[in-house]
Amino acid sequence: MALVFEAKVALFEALKAAVPAGVQCTFAETGKSDRRQQVWLGATGDEELAVTAMRQGPRKPTAVTSFVDVHALVILPGDPVGAERAVYGLRDAIVGACRALAPGAVVGLLDVRPESSESETAESTDGAYAALTVRVRIRGRIT
């Protein structure tokens, strides 16, 4: 659905503006952990389509709901508390990017908002890391 893709692209542009300097922001996972702080867009969830009005003709107004996962990763050698603190700072930047995305930015877009988040902190051979996933809900209406 073009609405969901265009909203995802607009969210990516808002993320690039919202994350602090020095944080790598990519549209998809790079597969490399060479950066100490990263944010990227992950999977796009199933769309929920619901006809919102009946009218003659093949095109009916339809409500669209979809999800996109935004991931963040922070690696700090020997400092799990600092890594988790930094990843929560990135969560705030992700929430700010969602708020900054105006409904008029994409035709038919009604709402972009964080729905839930999940974080994990651990220590590895690369150092302490904190990973975060924020599920963002995208709602819109197409005709």
Q: Where are the domains of the chain?
A: 2-142
Q: How confident is the model at residue 11 (pLDDT cuts 50, 70, 90)?
A: very high
**Rounded-to-integer distance, Cα 37 and Cα 140, Å:** 31
Report pLDDT digits (tens) over 91-133. 999 999 999 998 888 999 999 999 999 999 999 877 899 999 9
Instruction: Please state, as a whole number, how many other Cβ atoms lie within 10 Å of the Cβ of residue 87.
Output: 23
> Can you give the length of the chain in residues?
143
User: Is 2-142 assigned to CATH 3.30.2000.10?
Assistant: yes
Residues 6+ positions from 139 with CB-CB distance below 8 Å: 63, 64, 65, 109, 110, 111, 112
What's the whole-model pTM score?
0.89
**Rounded-to-integer distance, Cα 66 and Cα 50, Å:** 12
Q: Would the pLDDT of 1 be above 70?
A: no
